[in-house]
Amino acid sequence: MSSRMSGVDVDARKIRKGATGSVINWVTERGGQVAADADTTASEISQAGGTSLLVAVEDERGARILGVIHLKDVVKEGMRERFEELRRMGIKTVMISGATNRAGDNEELIQRVKDAKAAVIKDNSVDGYHVKPTDVPPHAVTSSGSGLAPAISPQYAHIQIHRILGFIGEPRVNVLELNIALKALEGA
């Protein structure tokens, strides 16, 4: 199975979803026909700024495309204005939304996670304290479905304590509030 496609086998049916080209190849390799409008619809979604996924099945009737899914990056009402306000205050904001749509064995995803882990270790290791690779929780190097989760776990907060002085005790740390407080301290 292609790393740009995932799926499940249920009884005699094989169901797959993924990137347009990967799913089209999967269907045609099995002798199936792909309607011209499947690729056209996927292209229109991409041109409109969305992400398209094709869904296909192989069963007793053969391999075929079932449909096209349109994924949109959605920013909640008012969130964009809040990000602009934070930027005006001099607080760095990053707004990356959406999942990677990569399989767990995808080499690009594996390398991205390794690089992210190395960055977490480097950024949070200070004189007298070195973050070990086993200390880095998985969510520190991966993203939520939207990529906009506002909280981190106590485990991730713990490895940042030596870099962010005196922030101990809460079961969750609101990163936005922490950044605002730190920015305010810089001006004091």
What confidence tens digit (pLDDT) does each residue in 99-126 have? 555 666 778 878 888 888 898 898 888 8
Count of beta carbons in the 10 Å neighbourhood of residue 56: 25
Helix axes 36-47, 20-29, angle to 10 degrees: 170
The Cα angle at residue 119 between residues 115 and 123, in degrees rounded to 5: 175
Give yes or no for residue 150 having a pLDDT over 70.
Answer: no
Give yes or no for residue 167 having a pLDDT over 50.
Answer: no
Over range 119-143, report the average pLDDT: 85
Q: Is 83 exposed, middle or buried (0-12, 13-18, 19+ CB in 10 A)?
A: middle
CA-CA distance, 164 to 162, in Å (whole number)? 6
pLDDT tier, 5 (very low <50, low <70, confident <90, very high otherwise): confident
CA-CA distance, 65 to 23, in Å (whole number)? 8
Whole-Å CA distances, 46 to 36, 147, 167: 16, 20, 43
pLDDT of residue 170: 47
The residue with greater pLDDT, 132 or 157, is 132
Q: Which residues contact 152 (CB under 8 A, 6 or more apart)?
A: 139, 140, 172, 173, 175
pTM of the predicted structure, to 2 decimals: 0.41
Q: Read off the DSSP letter of residue 25.
A: H
CA-CA distance, 158 to 169, in Å (whole number)? 10
pLDDT of residue 110: 82
pLDDT of residue 146: 47
